[in-house]
Structure 1
Amino acid sequence: MLKQIRIVLVNTTHPGNIGAAARAMKNMGLADLVLVDPKRFPDPEASARSSRADDILEQARVVSALEDAVADCQLVIGTSARQRHLSWPLISPRQMAALVKENTEQQAISVALVFGREDRGLMNEELALCHYHVHIPTEESFSSLNVAAAVQVLAYELRVASMNEREIMQAGASAESSVTAGLANQWQSDWDTPWADGDNMERFFDHLEQTLRDIEFYKPEHSAQLMPKLRRLYQRSRLDQTELNILRGILTATQKASRHRAD
């Protein structure tokens, strides 16, 4: 399970936070780190704060956009400290861990946990790339959480979820189990088709937008929220690759029919 999980840090300002996040990852058995347009990396301060997690920093990939970081991932979960204008499926850290465990036990999928900027978190456009948003329930009067601390909280929940009861007891942790049945029952125990990854989902959304423009259903100047709401609908549905191919086929047929009528 843990080998299938990627930690993504977006536009991190302070290199010390990158190092501290790498340390948190190594503490909990995570190793895949991707940095999206960091302000300073590599940097000696990142290495100093990593506390012997230098191997994670050395293997970390740097990309220019979040789309590149999650292109090959079939489940993307973004961290969100606040409610947004456009609501999205919101889960707790423990629900997140149960969800990841359920999905990784079914298929050899890649999972991305996305963490935003120190001062602003993730932008709405970035959160729209995620299937779920996870919120750490901090004290309301002091809710600001350091990005490395957020990584530590979620990484801990993932580690506990990956262990069996005997391992938890041996590690001195609580054997309490908190699996959310509502989330777990959304998927069959065996799924016969791979989930669609981020790259194919973005191609689909581009195709969907173009088709809706072609048939004059979507006019951005009149319906700015249409595409974000459709994105939320399809992301919440968790499309597999076959379902995505069917939808792309419908869109192609719709475009052909529209052109035929125009002729």
Structure 2
Amino acid sequence: MITEPMELLNPVRIVLVNTSHPGNVGGVARAMKNMGLSDLRLVAPQDYPSAEATARASGADDLLADAQVVDDLDEALAGCRLVLGTSARQRTLRWPELDPRQAAARLLEAVPTGPVAVLFGRERTGLTNEELDRCQALIHIPANPEYSSLNLAAAVQVLSYELRMAALAHAPASAPAPTGGELPASHEELERLYAHLEETLLLLEFLDPDNPRHLMRRLRRLFAKADPTINEVNILRGILTQAAKGPPEHSGKP
């Protein structure tokens, strides 16, 4: 149970995907510790552990020692109730978008229901569309449009600062659960729903098996806006299971 404002930051995960420069990992750890965050997850870093990461951490090497290094993104997001991804690029298919302040408020509102995560992509190319599919919304830092490229550690610093300010305001502590008391579906439950949905749509010949990604990406965006609860996901999967069986034999329908 969360009793102090800064405890709101404990369930917030910072997830770095395929980081190429170890110094950036150290810089991120320093930015996190400055603002009171402690849960760092590294997905397939290219050069880690590293003495350069420790040097750049400048006293936050305890965060590096505790950082979890995993092979794939789903493992890093296990158990999360809300996942937001960062992106500096506009995408063909638009995700719901938040600025850092809005993102911090939404993350801390979800904290009472379980862990939450912020994804940061590769230094040069960011997150892929497939990785963004795991997110309920994107975070866009409104930097100078003439020079909007932020160093990875600087981007984490911006988000960490907004999270700390939101925690200090302590507003989410008394806010009602965003789902009316029911737990929102976790990352794993949503991924199982999407897999079940794609399988059923292929069976019903509604989905083009040669190009399923575009429609499935739109459906992911639809469900991300709805923010379904565990019970709602179970209802949807029950409908999908029944739809896959076809109409009952006694219905009289062809």
TM-score normalised according to structure 2 size: 0.89
- One-letter identity of the residue aligned with 1:212: L
Quick check: 74-83 or 191-200, which moved more? 191-200
Q: Is 1:114 the equivalent of 2:119?
A: yes
Q: Secondary structure at the match of 1:220?
A: coil
Give yes or no for the alignment of 1:57 onto 2:64.
Answer: yes
Residue 124 (structure 1) aligned with residue 129 (structure 2): yes
Matched, 1:197 2:186: yes
Partner of 2:36: 29
Structure 2 residue 148 is the aligned partner of structure 1 residue 136:
no
**Cα distance change of structure 1 residues 221 and 59 upon mapping to structure 2, 3 Å threshold:** same
Q: Is this contact kept in 2: 1:5–1:32, CA < 8 A? A: yes
Structure 1 residue 243 and structure 2 residue 248: aligned?
no
Distance (Å, rounded) in 1 between the aligned partners of 2:91 and 2:99: 16
5 Å-filtered alignment, 1:81-100, equals: 81-100=88-107
Corresponding letter in the other structure for 2:149: S
User: Structure 2: which 5+ runs fail to align?
Assistant: 1-7
Residue 155 of structure 1 corresponds to which residue in structure 2?
A: 160
In structure 1, list runs of 5 or more residues that go unmatched.
Answer: 166-176, 180-184
1:163-202 equivalences under 5 Å are 163-164=168-169, 191-202=180-191
Distance 1:190 1:202, change over 3 A: closer
Task: Identify the residue that residue 16 of structure 1 maps to in structure 2.
Answer: 23
In the alignment, which residue of structure 2 is the partner of 1:182? none
Indicate the residue corresponding to 1:257 in structure 2.
246
Residue type matched to 1:228 in 2? R
Aligned to 1:218, the other structure's residue is in SS state coil
Alpha-carbon distance change, 190 to 10 in structure 1, aligned in 2, over 3 angstroms: closer
Q: Judging changes above 3 Å, is the alpha-carbon distance between structure 1 residues 238 and 134 closer, same or farther for their aligned structure 2 residues?
A: same
Q: Counterpart amino acid of 2:115?
A: S
Aligned CA-pair RMSD = 2.3
CA contact (8 A) 1:89 1:133 kept: yes
Q: What amino acid is aligned across from residue 104 of structure 2 in structure 1?
A: A
1:215-230 matches, within 5 Å, as: 215-221=204-210, 224-230=213-219
State whether residues 15 and 43 of structure 1, in contact with CA within 8 Å, keep that contact through their aligned partners in structure 2: yes
Per the alignment, in what secondary structure is the counterpart of residue 30 of structure 2?
helix
Query: Measured at CA, do residues 259 and 126 of structure 1 come closer, stay the same or move farther in structure 2, by a change above 3 Å?
Result: farther
Taking a change above 3 Å as real, the CA distance of residues 189 and 121 of structure 1, as seen in their structure-2 partners, is closer
Letter in 2 for 1:119: R
**Are residues 1:232 and 2:221 paired?**
yes
Q: 1:256 to 1:32 in 2, by over 3 A?
A: same
Partner of 2:82: 75
User: 1: distance between equivalents of 2:212 and 2:220?
Assistant: 14
8 A Cα contact 1:33 1:56, kept in partner? yes
Contact 2:184–2:230, Cα closer than 8 Å, also in 1: yes
Taking only the aligned residue pairs, the percentage that are identical comes to 50
- Equivalent pair of 1:215/1:258 in contact (CA under 8 Å): no
Deviates more, 1:249-258 or 1:218-227: 218-227
Partner residue, 1:170: none
Aligned to 1:174: none
Residue 248 and residue 191 in structure 1: after superposition, are their counterparts in 2 closer, same or farther (change >3 A)? same
SS state of the match for residue 87, structure 1?
coil
Deviation at 1:136, TM superposition (A): 0.4
SS of 1:163's equivalent in the other structure is helix
- In structure 2, distance between residues paired with 1:19 and 1:140: 27
Equivalent residues of 1:77, 1:113 under 8 A apart: yes
Give the match for residue 45 of structure 1.
52
What TM-score, normalized by structure 1, do the two folds share? 0.86
Segment drifting more, 214-223 vs 67-76: 214-223
